[in-house]
Amino acid sequence: MPYTQIIYHIVFSTKKRERTLKFEGQEELFKYIWGTIKNKKSHLYRINGVEDHLHILSSLHPTICLSNFIKDIKVSSSIWIKKKNIFPFFESWQEGYAAFTCSFKDKENLIKYIISQKEHHRNVSFREELINLYKEAEIQYDEKYLF
């Protein structure tokens, strides 16, 4: 049995950053995604977001690769959203994602950060937030993928 302690801060957006995830349905979406994560034998520490993107703080079961984990969340939640018609103008998720490994010691601060997304985005755009996350993680990024 492998033993791991890898926490991922995952961020992804709606297609074209459309503001289609209206507040009224977000809690139900978050619960659905939590169920998907549990079905993957993984642990959700926190999920939150605003109208155009989500933040997920999670550890993955050691047998699951990150890209498949995110793909499964996006595919299943897209199907669920369309079936429930919970966000009528939602088309799909963007193709890419951002994911950062985090220290277990930083977990509580990240949970607070994710909880405060609605307040945070009153002053900071998603683009600015993503650039700051990339810089903090020292990730080289291409400007064309930020729009």
How high is the pLDDT of residue 28?
A: 98
Q: Does 22 map to a domain?
A: yes
Question: 61 CB contacts (<8 Å, ≥6 apart)?
Answer: 40, 41, 42
How high is the pLDDT of residue 5?
A: 86
Domain that holds residue 95: 7-145
Q: Does 1 map to a domain?
A: no
CATH code at 95? 3.30.70.1290
How high is the pLDDT of residue 147?
A: 57
pLDDT in tens, the chain (147 residues): 677 889 999 999 999 999 999 999 999 999 999 999 999 999 999 999 999 999 999 999 999 999 999 999 999 999 999 999 999 999 999 999 999 999 999 999 999 999 999 999 999 999 999 999 999 999 998 887 775
Q: Does 2 map to a domain?
A: no
Task: Residue 58: count other Cβ atoms within 10 Å of its Cβ.
Answer: 24
How high is the pLDDT of residue 2?
A: 77
Q: Is 85 exposed, middle or buried (0-12, 13-18, 19+ CB in 10 A)?
A: exposed
Tell me how many domains the chain contains: 1
How high is the pLDDT of residue 113?
A: 97
Q: Does 41 map to a domain?
A: yes
Token pair 């498949």 is found at: 68
